[in-house]
């Protein structure tokens, strides 16, 4: 028997981040302020001795004025709405063959072989203000990268014994995975399954595994 498949998937996400403050605006609002134009309302200045350094649109803020001392105008000036985007694209393909080989005391020896291909592209694009370290919350660079793999695998099932009440089966498998970002890896497994009686079955398995690093692990920005 044979089996062939191809899978394509794409996921896009947009995250809206509310409630953070703009770092440069916070610095302006907490900086020098004065009412140099005598209109009864203080304004932000780069230098209170120089009216030409007026920061247009800035609303002075006092973080130590007590409860409810922050006005809506101050909050409107300080807060920024941020947008992060994530795009993930995955492709998978596999072809496999399965069949029987020859008779054993418990039945026919079963086997399976196959090849596989995988390709994952991932891009995380944080808001430009986060990338420029210009907000008061978490900041950092984005992540962009891809990971491509090619695989070959095989497996056998050997029914070593079966008298209708008791049976003994052995399994063995091996897999080779080659990735474009790091060295190839071979994993294997062996297993035994023993049906002692109708209501009792014993199983034991030994195998090797490894964790594939994610694209964020490999290409994550600081």
Q: For 7-48, how does the pLDDT look when each residue is reduced to its tens digit (9 = 90+)? A: 999 999 999 999 899 999 999 999 999 988 888 889 999 998
Average pLDDT over the chain reads 94
Which tokens go with 11? 């996921």
**Could you tell me which residues are beta bridge partners of residue 3?**
96
Among 176, 202, 198, 179, smallest CA distance to 187 is for 176
Task: Give the per-residue pLDDT at 19.
Answer: 85
**pTM, rounded to two decimals:** 0.75
| Euclidean distance between CA atoms 8 and 181, whole angstroms | 21
- For residue range 90-102, list pLDDT tens digits in order: 999 999 999 999 9
Give yes or no for residue 68 having a pLDDT over 90: no
* Cα–Cα distance list, 36 to 42, 56, 71, 78, 170 (Å): 8, 13, 21, 22, 89
Whether residue 191 contacts residue 170, with contact meaning beta carbons closer than 8 Å, is answered with yes
Radius of gyration of the chain from its Cα atoms, rounded to whole angstroms: 32
Strands (DSSP E) contained in 30-166 are 33-34, 43-44, 79-104, 107-125, 143-162
């Amino acid at each position: 028997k044979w089996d062939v498949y191809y899978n394509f998937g794409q996921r896009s996400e947009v995250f809206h981040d509310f409630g953070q403050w703009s770092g440069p605006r916070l610095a302006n609002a907490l900086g020098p302020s004065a009412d140099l134009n005598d209109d009864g309302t203080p304004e932000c200045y780069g230098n209170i001795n120089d009216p030409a350094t007026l920061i247009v649109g800035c609303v002075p803020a006092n973080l130590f004025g007590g409860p409810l001392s922050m006005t809506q105008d101050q909050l409107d000036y300080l807060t920024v709405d941020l947008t992060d985007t994530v795009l993930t694209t995955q492709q998978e393909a596999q072809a496999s063959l399965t069949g029987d080989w020859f008779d054993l005391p418990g039945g026919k020896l079963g086997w399976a072989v196959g090849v596989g291909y995988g390709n994952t592209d991932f891009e995380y694009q944080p808001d430009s203000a986060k990338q420029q370290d210009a907000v008061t919350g978490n900041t950092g660079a984005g992540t962009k990268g891809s990971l491509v793999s090619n695989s070959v695998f095989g497996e056998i099932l050997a029914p070593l014994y079966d008298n209708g009440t008791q049976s003994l089966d052995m399994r063995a498998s091996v897999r080779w995975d080659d990735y474009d970002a790091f060295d190839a890896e071979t994993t294997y497994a062996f297993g035994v399954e023993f049906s002692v009686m109708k209501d009792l079955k014993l199983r034991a398995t030994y195998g090797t595994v490894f964790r594939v690093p994610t694209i964020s692990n490999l290409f994550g920005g600081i």
